[in-house]
Structure 1
Amino acid sequence: MSKQGRTSPIDEGLQHQELFPIREVSRLTGVNPVTLRAWERRYGLILPTRTDSGHRLYSQADIDDIRNILGWLERGVAVSKVASILVRSQALVEDNGDEQSARLRWRQQIHEAVLRFDGTRLHRLFDKAFASHSLDQVFGEIFMPVWHDLAAGQSGYGQRAFGQASEWLFFDQFMRSRVFVRLQLSRMPRSRSVLLAPLAGPCHELELLVTALLLGCDEVEVSVLAPGQPLQELTLICERLRPDALVLFSNQAPTAELSKRLGRLVVGLECPLLLAGKVAELAQDSLAGSPVACLGAQGSVMRQRLRQFLGGQLDT
């Protein structure tokens, strides 16, 4: 139990491998029972077990799925589209129970440090994680899931408990500062340079900075433009910086006007245009055959596709 009287969802997942009634699930996730039932009946997003009397019981895996659903809805994806996305995402999850338990314990420790506003412990955990895990694992499986869990509490799906907004702001500031330092330390002349900019719309700075860190490699230097960068002025910036490629990032769902906006931007650019983040996964089919290449949203995939594209081996 935290000092504020709340048990973290991560703690409960570790300590109680049991089934939860719908009211408890609603309290943990902020999603009201009516919505949970609708997600089950209309879309098949969650499939809880039932008691003999017909009452729904949810596992920890169901609760994790609900948080994933909230994350996609926050990015603007229609609820009717979430099921197919979850199926594709599940295929990429590690099928190693021991490793998953280890990642869960990491996230539990991070969550406990956040609840106590313990910056010193967070710094130690961050350094320790990098000593034993790859870059992709540190962010994709350990730190960013905690950040997403805390950020999900800011949605309109439920009332935030007292202190949760401060917890998320504290952790977000910590993560931005550490990622920014790693970006600065990695800056050195490379054979290729890439400019990373946010696509118009909501964009968290941390997600942009982490993407820059994941995209970089021995051959590629990544420079980041801040959230709020006007899309129409990117041609001017690219004209002066002359990058080998411009990468636009977003974790929001693509808008109906995306293809047209990117088409207008490509005309004025003297370098290739690429798309990264969840928007790249969701817009890949609609952009097939266009001058815009999609890198995806996962670190290793983005790096590989970026290297292939810069080497002329990846078609748009």
Structure 2
Amino acid sequence: MSTMSTPAGWSQTAMFTASEVEAQTGVPATTLRQWERRYGFPHPERNASGYRLYSPQDVAAIQRMQAHLNAGVPASRAAALTCAELAPDAAPPPDERLGRTPAEWSAGLTQALLASDMDGAAALLGQIHAQLPVEDVLTAVLSPTLVEIGQRWERGEITVAHEHQASAFVRARLSHLMELAGVQEGFGPLAVAACAPGESHELGLMMLTLALRRRGVRVAYLGANVPLGDLAVFARLRRARAVLLALNGEWALAATRAHLHDLDGLGAPLFLGGALLNARPELAAELGGLYAGPDAPRAAQIIAAQLHRAPEEPQGDA
């Protein structure tokens, strides 16, 4: 049986309307026109009625531009990278030519971050987003990068300044992605996410927040070191359907146990996760909650499935 080959020049054939491109990429037609004026791409043709028609190559350029922007690359820099990557006479980018594995992407990102090459790290992350789904970026690239940097700091190979700069970079990118994935108020069940008292390591919880928002769950993200009494008051006022609590080390356990009674009568399931729970999953039951799961995508899948299945019953007033 013969197979049908792609016609020569197919990638340059104008075939998609602006609305079809918007449906494929999520980029509004107004933004496409702005990019066309400011950066010289995409390159739509006009049909007999004067409407823009975009080629598959245009769509590829738009997707690359969006991936760079999602990674936090400034728009002008993202446009320059996109044009360079898609130039017809340019060699394939080294990372694509080598077909990098997630581990190799992570190693490259680690190297850029420890060299304080933030522009290079941002550009590399843009390429990674163009190659991998968001949740693979979280679990197979960003998480191993953070673990490697933390281990190098523990071994005394880098300073705490290096570790803080790398963490700040990842935090900023996750914050940007969380905003992009934010679900509008009034749609989807609400979960409240916080780090336990004394817990300042919040990047894993940010990843979980992002993964949940991508599954249609609204998440009120409270951040690091949240007293359990305040967490309970907030969750009741917002009528949260679930509470997510992150503990990454023993340093957060004593204060959590001491104030666990503040969560009594919450009327919503308590999901616990983080490095400490991954090492000791039995702690979840000891603390009166449910183990969320070993990583952000799987935890999000478990939590979202329960929330979307549970009946929408309002809780009592605070």
Normalising TM by the smaller chain, what interval?
A: 0.5 to 0.7
Q: 1:302 is matched with which residue?
A: 299
What is the DSSP-based 3-state SS (H/G/I as helix, E as strand, rest coil) of the residue aligned with 2:292?
strand
Q: 1:178 is matched with which residue?
A: 173
Measured after TM superposition, the shift of residue 200 of structure 1 is: 2.1
Measured after TM superposition, the shift of residue 198 of structure 1 is: 0.5
Q: 1:240 is matched with which residue?
A: 237
Instruction: Report if the CA contact (8 A) 1:278-1:296 is conserved.
Output: no
TM-score by length of 1: 0.58
The reply on whether 1:222 has 2:233 as its aligned counterpart is no
Instruction: Please list every run of 5 or more consecutive structure 2 residues that lacks an aligned counterpart in the other structure.
Output: 1-97, 312-318
Instruction: Report if the CA contact (8 A) 2:190-2:218 is conserved.
Output: yes
Instruction: Report if the CA contact (8 A) 1:203-1:250 is conserved.
Output: no
Q: 1:193 aligns with which of 164, 173, 190?
A: 190
Instruction: Report if the CA contact (8 A) 1:199-1:248 is conserved.
Output: yes
What is the DSSP-based 3-state SS (H/G/I as helix, E as strand, rest coil) of the residue aligned with 2:116?
coil
Q: 2:274 is matched with which residue?
A: 277
| Closer/same/farther in 2, CA of residues 137 and 100 from structure 1, 3 Å limit | farther
Q: 1:27 is matched with which residue?
A: none
Q: 1:231 is matched with which residue?
A: 228
Which has the larger Rg?
2
Q: 2:103 is matched with which residue?
A: 104
TM-score by length of 2: 0.58
| Closer/same/farther in 2, CA of residues 260 and 296 from structure 1, 3 Å limit | farther
| Closer/same/farther in 2, CA of residues 115 and 281 from structure 1, 3 Å limit | closer
Measured after TM superposition, the shift of residue 204 of structure 1 is: 1.4
The reply on whether 1:205 has 2:205 as its aligned counterpart is no
Q: 1:139 is matched with which residue?
A: 138
Q: 1:249 is matched with which residue?
A: 246
What is the DSSP-based 3-state SS (H/G/I as helix, E as strand, rest coil) of the residue aligned with 1:229?
coil
Measured after TM superposition, the shift of residue 183 of structure 1 is: 0.8
The reply on whether 1:267 has 2:261 as its aligned counterpart is no
The Cα offsets for residues 109-148 of structure 1, whole Å up to 9 and x where unpaired, read as 2123123322111111112212211223212211221222
After TM superposition, which residue ranges in structure 1, 4 or more long, deviate above 4 angstroms?
Answer: 256-261, 286-291
What is the DSSP-based 3-state SS (H/G/I as helix, E as strand, rest coil) of the residue aligned with 2:199?
coil
Q: 1:72 is matched with which residue?
A: none
| Closer/same/farther in 2, CA of residues 259 and 227 from structure 1, 3 Å limit | closer
Measured after TM superposition, the shift of residue 194 of structure 1 is: 0.8
Aligned mates of 2:163, 2:283 — CA distance in 1: 35
The Cα offsets for residues 26-61 of structure 1, whole Å up to 9 and x where unpaired, read as xxxxxxxxxxxxxxxxxxxxxxxxxxxxxxxxxxxx
Measured after TM superposition, the shift of residue 167 of structure 1 is: 2.5
| Closer/same/farther in 2, CA of residues 221 and 292 from structure 1, 3 Å limit | same
Measured after TM superposition, the shift of residue 259 of structure 1 is: 6.0
Q: What is the letter of the counterpart of residue 167 of structure 1?
A: H
Q: What is the letter of the counterpart of residue 271 of structure 1?
A: A
Instruction: Report if the CA contact (8 A) 1:153-1:160 is conserved.
Output: yes
Aligned mates of 1:287, 1:100 — CA distance in 2: 40
Aligned mates of 1:277, 1:112 — CA distance in 2: 25
Q: What is the letter of the counterpart of residue 205 of structure 2?
A: L
What is the DSSP-based 3-state SS (H/G/I as helix, E as strand, rest coil) of the residue aligned with 1:296?
coil
Q: 2:37 is matched with which residue?
A: none
What is the DSSP-based 3-state SS (H/G/I as helix, E as strand, rest coil) of the residue aligned with 1:154?
helix
Aligned mates of 1:229, 1:289 — CA distance in 2: 20
Q: What is the letter of the counterpart of residue 198 of structure 1?
A: C
Question: Aligned-pair RMSD on alpha carbons?
Answer: 2.9
Aligned mates of 1:230, 1:286 — CA distance in 2: 19
Aligned mates of 2:286, 2:229 — CA distance in 1: 23
Q: What is the letter of the counterpart of residue 149 of structure 1?
A: E
Q: 1:12 is matched with which residue?
A: none
| Closer/same/farther in 2, CA of residues 227 and 100 from structure 1, 3 Å limit | farther
What is the DSSP-based 3-state SS (H/G/I as helix, E as strand, rest coil) of the residue aligned with 2:140?
helix
Report the number of matched residues. Answer: 210
